[in-house]
Chain A
């Protein structure tokens, strides 16, 4: 027997929908309740129509009963299967989340042990051995980044990507994001420029740590997909009612047929694969979720072999 507390919990539809990370209109529990209301309404309508056009009250009640029963069984089985799907999806996100968390501890150990070896604290390692250590360190870093991305994706899918909104300076954040890529960029002869439409831009409102991930993703892609030497232009401007941040490159571009899939999870453009085999296909998916949850829009313009411009908007003070 269900206790009264459990019944009350079943009725807490908002909590259920939140657990699955679904909006109301895609949430099985809410749809079930909605269908319940529809069934009651249709039973009443059948009754009213029945009493008007069918004389025998026994026939009327039988029709009402049969119609209600059929609708109820249908609704029940449909929402049950929907609920099964939602539950499977939730378990998948939870699984990804647990695995990512479990991978973090050994990855931290690897990272720090390699850092000690490379730093030469306990004896310098030189020559080819040092090269191999660097390969280990680089790949550990790559793995750690992938695990972080998967963790963010699982949070997005569970509908619990927490945003800690506050006012912040978008140009300052852009400078930090750019600084991280300066060494890689100059190593491949790519110049990164920051252009502000005016010196006194208003403060942006959002989660600066999350938005930095988006900026880094844009800059990373722009540098990565620039062939040979080139220029990447990062610009920030006023775009009513907020600010617009964009990154323009003269790189390989995205073929037209791939453009509609570019924000999909795990999608990698054929053009991207030609020039860069590394990459998880998660960056832009994460970027879109973060920007949209922050109340902004995200988009791009791209032409194959000519380059791409990715942009997002962000509100100023709410």
Chain B
């Protein structure tokens, strides 16, 4: 059974690049284009990992993170925040709210992001 990754990201180009690569790596990728859809999909699909952008339409990433971590069914799903916000305040807040890892898009190559995802899933990177 391949693992399910929920990718909450409003940028279609990013959905495609990272999504394609993750599918090639053998994961089942589900995408959500805004915060509300992301939260709904997380509740319905029970993914193994969530990739979460912060600046999202309809519902901010922090709100989504807070909601997911407060619900019994979703609170144990590892969440990787993947964003272009890089202020120390945002990083601290995300980790405080229970994010597993915080990645700034501009600072990582795609390969590095994939290996962080594998690590968060407890696989050999």
Binding site for B on A (CB under 8 A): 101, 104-105, 107-109, 111-113, 115-116, 119, 121-122, 144, 148, 162, 164
Is the CB–CB distance between A115 and B110 below 8 Å? Answer: yes
* CA distance in complex: A109, B21 (Å): 14
Q: Is the CB of A108 within 8 A of B20?
A: no
Do A113 and B17 form a contact, CB below 8 Å, given A105-B11, A164-B88? yes
A121-B21 contact, Cβ under 8 Å, with A107-B106, A113-B13, A144-B106? yes
A-B contact pairs, 6 of them (CB 8 A): A104-B105, A108-B14, A115-B110, A115-B111, A121-B24, A162-B87
For A164, the chain B residues whose CB sits under 8 A away are 88
Distance between Cα atoms of A105 and B11 in the complex (Å) = 9
**Judging by beta carbons under 8 Å apart, are A108 and B111 in contact?**
no
Complex alpha-carbon distance, A121 and B110, angstroms: 12
Chain A residue contacts of B14, Cβ below 8 A: 108-109, 112
B67-125, CB < 8 A from A: 84, 87-88, 105-106, 109-111
Per-residue interface assignment for chain B, residues 24 to 58, with 1 indicating a CB less than 8 Å from any chain A CB and 0 otherwise: 10000000000000000000000000000000000
Q: Is the CB of B84 within 8 A of A112?
A: no
Q: Smallest distance from the beta carbon of B116 to chain A beta carbons, Å?
A: 14
Shortest B27–chain A CB gap in Å is 14
Alpha-carbon distance between A171 and B111 when the two chains are bound, in angstroms: 29
Q: How many residues of B contact A (CB 8 A)?
A: 16
User: Are B18's CB and A101's CB within 8 A?
Assistant: no
Least Cβ–Cβ distance between A202 and chain B, in angstroms: 26
6 residue pairs, one from A and one from B, having the closest CB atoms: A109-B13, A108-B105, A112-B17, A112-B110, A115-B110, A104-B84
Q: A105-B11, A107-B106, A144-B106 are in contact. Are A116 and B88 (CB under 8 A)?
A: no
Among residues of A, the one whose C-beta sits closest to the C-beta of B109 is A115
SS class, residues of chain A in contact with chain B: helix
| A-binding residues in B (CB < 8 A) | 11, 13-14, 17-18, 20-21, 24, 84, 87-88, 105-106, 109-111
A318 to B119, CA, bound (A): 37
Inter-subunit contact A101/B84 (CB<8 Å) = yes
| Chain B residues, Cβ within 8 Å of A111 | 106, 109
Contacting A116 at CB < 8 Å: which of B11, B106, B110?
Answer: B110
A contact residues around B24 at 8 Å (CB): 121-122
Chain B residues with CB under 8 Å of A144's CB are 106
How far is B114's CA from A115's CA once the two chains are assembled, in angstroms? 13
Give CA–CA (A112, B19) in the complex, Å: 12
Of B11, B14, B18, B110, most A-chain CB atoms within 10 Å: B110
CB atoms of A116 and B17 under 8 A apart: yes
- Chain A residues with Cβ under 8 A from B109's Cβ? 111-112, 115
Cα distance A235–B105 in the bound complex, in angstroms:
33
For residue A106, which residue of chain B has the nearest CB?
Answer: B13
Which chain A residue has the least Cβ–Cβ distance from B16? A113
- Cβ of B105: which chain A residues have Cβ within 8 Å of it? 104-105, 108
Other-chain residue from A107, A112, A119 in contact with B18 (beta carbon distance below 8 A):
A112
> A116 to chain B: which residues have CB within 8 Å?
17, 20-21, 110
